[in-house]
A and B are shown apart, each in its own frame.
Chain A
Amino acid sequence: ETGVTQTPRHLVMGMTNKKSLKCEQHLGHNAMYWYKQSAKKPLELMFVYNFKEQTENNSVPSRFSPECPNSSHLFLHLHTLQPEDSALYLCASSQEMGLAGRNEQFFGPGTRLTVL
């Protein structure tokens, strides 16, 4: 595997379910990101991890819980979601944060989430 991978690619869940999204990067990067992409809206940054430490929580509701066990893996745990949470969730990685000129982010294919 190369680049950034995400599983599952599609997920349908009820509002009372608990599920997790997984992201893995094979680029040797140290920063990882979760974004939410809704139709016709700019990408919304949700969480940022740098060297496994969370450095950004962009006012995301607590029903979204991120986990970064190591620099290569990032999870997004989902619990009691709402229908408006239906979106494409994208994971990205970069070499590390805060280095101007090095913050090119590499994206995974995303998980298409539908909340019923």
Chain B
Amino acid sequence: AQSVTQPDIHITVSEGASLELRCNYSYGATPYLFWYVQSPGQGLQLLLKYFSGDTLVQGIKGFEAEFKRSQSSFNLRKPSVHWSDAAEYFCAVSSNDYKLSFGAGTTVTVRA
């Protein structure tokens, strides 16, 4: 069965600094990988996804993620964080069917 680990429960970053959120997955075949963001009181919004091809994926809001098969990782990055990026971030993996398995999430706090 597939699973996702997000090792960091909470990250605090200064506005303008870079951000990297870690995601490790467990799945036997080629996974489909997603990053979602959840702002307070909101549902989940898709930031980016990886299915195949270029292992560096660009998403919305200036985010990117890199798929590294050798490390079973799909880390999310942003070069310069804005205060509006404060939210909870979820990594998810899917197999060839419809099921998404989510990590427990990483809460990002942005300090001025």
Within 8 Å CB of B51, what residues of A?
Answer: 100-101
Within 8 Å CB of B44, what residues of A?
Answer: 90, 92, 107
Q: Chain A contact residues (Cβ within 8 angstroms of B): what range?
A: 20 to 34
Decide yes or no: A94 and B98 within 8 Å by CB, A40-B9, A42-B104, A100-B32 being known contacts: yes
Q: Are A42 and B9 in contact (CB under 8 A)?
A: no
- The answer to the question of B23 belonging to the interface, with a C-beta cut-off of 8 Å to chain A, is no
User: What 1/0 mask marks residues of chain A from 60 to 94 whose CB sits below 8 Å from any chain B CB?
Assistant: 00000000000000000000000000000010101
- The answer to the question of B90 belonging to the interface, with a C-beta cut-off of 8 Å to chain A, is yes
C-alpha spacing A98/B43, complex, angstroms = 23
Chain B nearest CB, measured from A20 CB (Å):
19
Q: Are A107 and B99 in contact (CB under 8 A)?
A: no
Q: Are B43 and A110 in contact (CB under 8 A)?
A: yes
C-alpha spacing A100/B43, complex, angstroms = 23
Chain B nearest CB, measured from A64 CB (Å):
19
- The answer to the question of A97 belonging to the interface, with a C-beta cut-off of 8 Å to chain B, is yes
CB-CB nearest in chain B for A10 = B41
CB-CB nearest in chain B for A55 = B98
Decide yes or no: A48 and B43 within 8 Å by CB, A43-B90, A104-B49 being known contacts: no
- The answer to the question of B24 belonging to the interface, with a C-beta cut-off of 8 Å to chain A, is no
Q: Are B4 and A42 in contact (CB under 8 A)?
A: yes
Q: Are A109 and B43 in contact (CB under 8 A)?
A: yes
Q: Are B45 and A107 in contact (CB under 8 A)?
A: yes
29 A–B contacts from the bound complex (CB under 8 Å): A40-B105, A41-B104, A42-B4, A42-B101, A42-B102, A42-B104, A42-B105, A43-B90, A45-B100, A48-B98, A56-B99, A90-B43, A90-B44, A92-B44, A97-B98, A100-B32, A100-B51, A100-B96, A101-B32, A104-B49, A105-B46, A105-B100, A106-B46, A107-B36, A107-B44, A107-B45, A108-B43, A109-B41, A110-B42
Closest CB pairs A-B (n = 6)? A107-B43, A97-B98, A107-B44, A43-B102, A42-B102, A109-B43
- State the A residues within 8 Å of B (CB): 4, 6, 31, 40-43, 45, 48, 50, 56, 90, 92, 94, 97-98, 100-101, 103-110
